[in-house]
Amino acid sequence: MTTYILRRIAAAIPSLLGVLIIVFLMVRLAPGDPALLLAGELADEALLERIRERFGLNEPWHVQFWVFLRNLVQGDLGISTRTNRPVVAELQSYFPSTVQLAAAAMVVASLIGIPAGVIAAIKPNSIFDYLATLIALLGVSMPVFWFGLLAILYFSVDLGWFPVAGKGTFAHVVLPAVTLGTSAAAILTRMTRSSMLEVLNQDYVRTASAKGLKRNRVTLKHALRNALIPVVTVAGLQFGSLMAGTVLTETVFSWPGIGRLLVDSILARDYPVVQASVLLIATTFITVNLVVDLLYGVIDPRLRYA
């Protein structure tokens, strides 16, 4: 198992390096001068040059990239050109909020998607099955920002049940989590239904039913456990996507997470924060995939890693 984990970590290094190269080039190819944004349009050239020298922006791109990699190995992600704070401190301030929101959204998606998929598979071609399929289709099709604005308009403005935006109490996380978890719930519903239908037609499930076991026991112990492997895979990918896809939700609900930090940093041409944020998101996505692979052995002990 240790060898497998080390091999997966080694295989992730080229992916992270590729992500860094792409992001490094994209932010620098975008129009705008960080020094000009920081000093203002009326700043003279001497001041702009001092700012570029302060943050290493006057060096060639390949030199900037090498310095970034060298500092990264030493645990130094640089200084934010927007706030003049260490990038590590910026990430520590915002990343926990994103993890909280993504975890809450994943809980919402799992509580809705998995039971709905199981019931739809147990009762195929029923009204509930058609309704679950329709809701899943709507959930996948709805843009997150549009659903979030509707939720704010109805539940916050009209009914006054939840705060409009911000972070503080449990009530603040409800609407963002539901908004973010809706599309994931729709995908989990479809995957759970498909996987359960396939498992319910297996011989061992029919044998368990023929032996006189209760239907709930057959469904939950024999069918659902074996159907969970593809569901866990999709759930892991969805959680990674939620970590990377909270930008719109955090912007709509003014949630102080890394997605909002990334948007503000892109607008301010804060290269160090943009690079570090994308690196953190990519690392989280890869880590989640590794954890999902390890969960396979927990769900099905027959699986072994060579």
Residue 177's domain is classified under what CATH number?
1.10.3720.10
Q: Are residues 118 and 197 in the same domain?
A: yes
Chain mean pLDDT for the chain: 78
Interval 219-257: pLDDT, tens: 766 677 777 777 877 887 778 777 766 777 877 887 888
Flag whether 128 is in a domain: yes
Number of domains the chain is built from: 2
Single-letter amino acid, residue 38: L
Same domain for 167 and 44: no
The larger pLDDT score, comparing residue 61 to residue 42, is at: 61
116/132 Cα distance (integer angstroms): 7
Q: Are 112 and 187 in contact (CB under 8 A)?
A: no
pLDDT exceeds 50 at position 277: yes
DSSP state of 214: -
Specify whether 151 is located in the same domain as 29: no
Evaluate whether 34 touches 269 at the Cβ level (below 8 Å).
yes
Residue 273 and residue 149 share a domain: yes
Residue 114 lies in a domain: yes
Per-state percent for the chain, helix, strand, coil, to nearest 5:
75, 0, 20
Within a domain: 107: yes
pLDDT at 43: 67
Name the residue among 75, 73, 101, 83 with its Cα closest to residue 166: 101
Per-residue pLDDT tens over the stretch 2-18: 776 777 777 778 887 88
Distance CA 270, CA 248 (A): 19
* pLDDT greater than 70 at residue 208: no
Closest CA to 151 of 238, 255, 253: 253
DSSP 164: S
Is 62's pLDDT higher than 60? yes
User: Per-residue confidence at 306, pLDDT binned at 50, 70, 90?
Assistant: very low
Together in a domain, 105 and 239: yes
Q: What percent of the chain has pLDDT over 70?
A: 84
- Number of H-type helices and E-type strands within the chain: 14, 0
Q: Which of 14-18, 87-91, 298-302 has the lowest mean pLDDT?
A: 298-302
Residues 36 and 183 in one domain: no
* Residue 139 resides in a domain: yes
Encode pLDDT of 41-51 as tens digits. 666 677 777 77
> Between residues 35 and 120, which one has the greater pLDDT?
120
Q: Which among 225, 154, 158, 153 is positioned nearest to 195, based on CA atoms?
A: 225
Tell me, yes or no, whether 164 and 273 share the same domain: yes
What is the SS3 assignment for 26-76? HHHHCCCCHHHHHHCCCCCHHHHHHHHHHCCCCCCHHHHHHHHHHHHHCCC
Residues 156 and 19 in one domain: no
State the pLDDT at residue 212: 66
Q: Quick count: other Cβ atoms within 10 Å of Cβ 274?
A: 24
User: Can you tell me the distance from the alpha carbon of 83 to that of 160, in angstroms, rounded to the nearest whole number?
Assistant: 35
What tokens does 182 get? 């809706």
Residue 81 inside a domain? The answer is no
Residues 189 and 50 in one domain: no
Residue 182, H or E segment: helix 170-200
Q: Summarize the confidence of residues 110-125 as an average pLDDT.
A: 82
Domain that holds residue 217: 93-299
pLDDT of 283 > 70? The answer is: yes
Give the span between the Cα atoms of 183 and 181, in whole angstroms. Answer: 6
